[in-house]
Each structure stands twice: as structure tokens, then as C-alpha cells.
Amino acid sequence: MRGVSPRIAIVGGGVSGLVAAHLLHRTHDVMVFEAHDRVGGHVSTIDVTAPDGRPHAVDMGFIVYNEQTYPLFAELLRQIGVETQPSDMSFGVRSDRSGIEYGSRNLGALLAQPSNLVRPRFIGMVRDGAGAMSLGEYVDSAQFSAAFAENYLVPMGSALWSLPRGRVLDMPAAFFVRFFENHGMLSVSGQPEWHVVRGGSARYVEALIAPFQDRIRTSAPVARVERRHAHVTVDGEPFDHVVFACHSDQALKMLGDPTRAERDILGALPFQANEVVLHTDSSVLPRSRRAWASWNYHVRSDDEAPATVTYNMNTLQALEAPVTYCVTLNATEAIAPESIVHRAQFSHPVYTRAGMLARERHAEISGLDRTHYCGAYWGFGFHEDGVRSAYTVAKRFGVHA
């Protein structure tokens, strides 16, 4: 079959590129190019040995999903036979500005309380399509209390999208609300049940790529993609099609001849780098141990300071260890250097109003000129979005799940 079927280069070996390869490799001649020496992208599992000598596989990138709002990803895990286990999604905030520390048993639990006026107002807003408003404008116009915005909405947005506090209120209000609706977080009848992959997220990547391992090149950063009349070249190598499964800014940089639409659309979808550290310094968690949650958000005094979140991996992954494995975003200076196990830099999409319009123009650049685009950034930035974007690309090749 290979040799006669169309040759497809997939640039990027995160969930989006790997799911695209999973869907296409049986009918097409695919080759995944991954810049790093391992595939997975934001799926990053680190093997550690605890002080008691026991090994653990700790996630410092992608951690959780749920059955209800990740239907494609959940089905994929079932198809490839990967075991999962329930996770704990408690959310806590410690504020240097207001001095408060609070916790809620589930991400979104406070938003969903029937007594919380935000719920009907939020839902009403989706219906009214308060389209062009920023979250800040909406918060002002709906007269939410400053304390609610300050201590709850902003920390939640900041933690979810790893944005500086000051940027959360610039997010498009409709996007924010649609996310909470889609993720069942405004539902009174029950919050989704979150899961992690047993033994670390890397276990699902291993199972997924097993059938097409020979179709992956690691340590293979692509520098230039050029469209010719009857083919594309990827660093000079000819293919029939290219699928960009990296980030928008990375794709734009690789294109030798971006069209006006590619420049406009990809250019309106920015990313922001975040420093992520796996460590065992529990002093970054709330002072009171009783206030420790799985997601611990630290509100700092400076609005433009990047979001500071510490994930308690012992509770998220149910690790039984004599130390607390923490993953902290953007607060490396506060972590005792001797407690650092691993450091990484990951970039998150930044959600703006211009970006919302650009996302709707996906079909203007994808599937044309032998060029295709996938990536979680085409949706809300989460794993399900990456999987869905890969399905959309596969459909263009006549492949359905």
C-alpha cells in the first residue's frame, strides 16, 4: 500500500499530530516529524524515585480528562485499551491581595451552586450572545461583586488558561462562558467525574503509537515547508500533503510562502510561554494543610505576574509517597532549588476576541493547497480539542473514526 498511497507529513507529535497519524496511517503513507527527542508534546510524564525507594510516574503536562466533555478522547482510550482512574479536582485559592484562603471540592463547584446568582446570569448571557464583550466588561455590566470576580472568576480563568490575572478580564466573555457550559461546570445536577491515565499520561501515548512507531521521526525539527505546484516539501523532502500539528506561531514561521489568510488567521492566534517545574517543596501550597487542594492557585499582588498554579500530583494521581510531588507554573523563584526534579517550558494559547474570529476561519486555510491545520488551540486548548481537530483533518482525507 505504502508508496502508492498519498504521502502525508505531520509536523508535531503532540496529541493532535499523533491522533491524526493514528487515524491516517492505515490508508496513507504518513510521517510524523517531532522536534523533541520524545513524542507527546504537552503529554510529559517524569519517572521519579521517592525517598522510600518506590518509583512513580508523575505527570507535569496533560493530567486530567472526563467522560462527559471529552467523548472522543475517552473513546480513544477505550479503543487502545488504556486503564484510567478517578482523580480529585479540588480547587483552592490563596490570595496575597485579600489575604483569603479558600477551597472548593470540585473545579466549578461554586459556579454551579443554585444560590449563586452567577449561574442564571451566565446562562442568560450565552443565550443573549453577549458576543463582543470582554469578560471584564461583562462583569461590570452584570454588576458582579468585585470580591467574586477577584477571588473566584479571575483565579479560575487564570489557572485554566495559565494567563496573568490582568489578562483574564480581556478574554472574550462568550468564550469563557461557553467553556464552563461545555465542561458541565454550570450544571447543578452534577459535576463531571475527572480521570487520569493510570501510571501516567505517557502510557496512553505508548499504546497509541505502537502500530505506527516506524512512521515517527523524533529529534526532527522542521525548519521550512514550501508548497509547489503538485507537491509540498518539508525541509526539501517531497510529500503530497502537510499537516501542521504544531502551534500557530510555529507553523507560520515554517511556511516559506504564507498566504494572506494564513498570515491573518495564524497571526491572530498567539501563544505564551509558561515555566513548569516538578518539585517537592510544599511551601508553595497553602499555609494551612487543610486548605491544600489538587489545583492551588496563588493570587499575587502584581496583576501582570503570570498565573501561579501548583498542582498537587499526589492527590491528582493518587500517589502514595512520603513527599508531595508538586507541579508549579511560573513561580520557580519561590521553589527551593534542591527540591526541583524537572523543569520544562510549555506554551499555552492566549484567548483574545480577535482569536475567536480567526478560529472560525479554519476552513479558509485548512484543506487547501495541500496544507492542513490541527492542534488543541483551534478549540478551547484542551486534549479533547486536539483530538477533535485531528478528526476534522482526517475527514478531509476521507477517513472517519
Ligand X SMILES: Cc1cc2nc3c(=O)[nH]c(=O)nc-3n(C[C@H](O)[C@H](O)[C@H](O)COP(=O)(O)OP(=O)(O)OC[C@H]3O[C@@H](n4cnc5c(N)ncnc54)[C@H](O)[C@@H]3O)c2cc1C
Residues in the site for ligand X, rule: CB under 6 A? 11-17, 33-36, 41-43, 61-65, 221-222, 245-246, 250, 254, 276, 346, 348, 375-376, 381-383, 386
Cβ atoms within 10 Å, residue 327: 24
Q: Which is nearer to ligand X, 16 or 151 (CB)?
A: 16
Question: Is residue 398 classed exposed, middle or buried when 0-12, 13-18 and 19+ CB atoms within 10 A define those classes?
Answer: exposed
Q: In terms of CB distance, is 19 or 133 closer to ligand X? A: 19
Whole-number Å distance between alpha carbons of 341 and 328: 12
Least distance to ligand X, CB of residue 114, Å: 27
Cβ 358 to ligand X shortest distance, Å: 16
Characterise 41 by phi-psi region: left (phi > 0), alpha (psi -120 to 50), beta (else): left
Distance CA 65, CA 74 (A): 8
Nearer to ligand X, 56 or 348 (CB): 348
CB 295 → ligand X: shortest distance, Å? 10
Query: Nearest approach, Cβ of 124 to ligand X (angstroms)?
Result: 28
- Nearer to ligand X among residue 40 and residue 286 (C-beta): 40
Kindly list the distances between the CA atom of residue 168 and the CA atoms of 135, 172, 206, 363, in Å, as whole numbers in the listed order: 7, 9, 35, 28
Smallest separation (angstroms) from ligand X to the CB of 122:
22
SS3 312: strand
CB of 60: closest distance to ligand X in angstroms?
Answer: 6
Q: Which is nearer to ligand X, 310 or 324 (CB)?
A: 310
DSSP symbol at 269: S
Of 17 and 200, the one with the shorter C-beta distance to ligand X is 17
Output 17 or 172, the one with its CB closest to ligand X.
17
State the Rg of the chain over Cα. Answer: 21
Residue 145 Cβ, how far from ligand X at the closest point, in Å? Answer: 30
Report the distance separating Cα 385 and Cα 99, nearest Å.
Answer: 36
Give φ, ψ of 232 to 5 degrees.
-120, 155
d(CA 106, CA 345) in angstroms, rounded, equals: 27
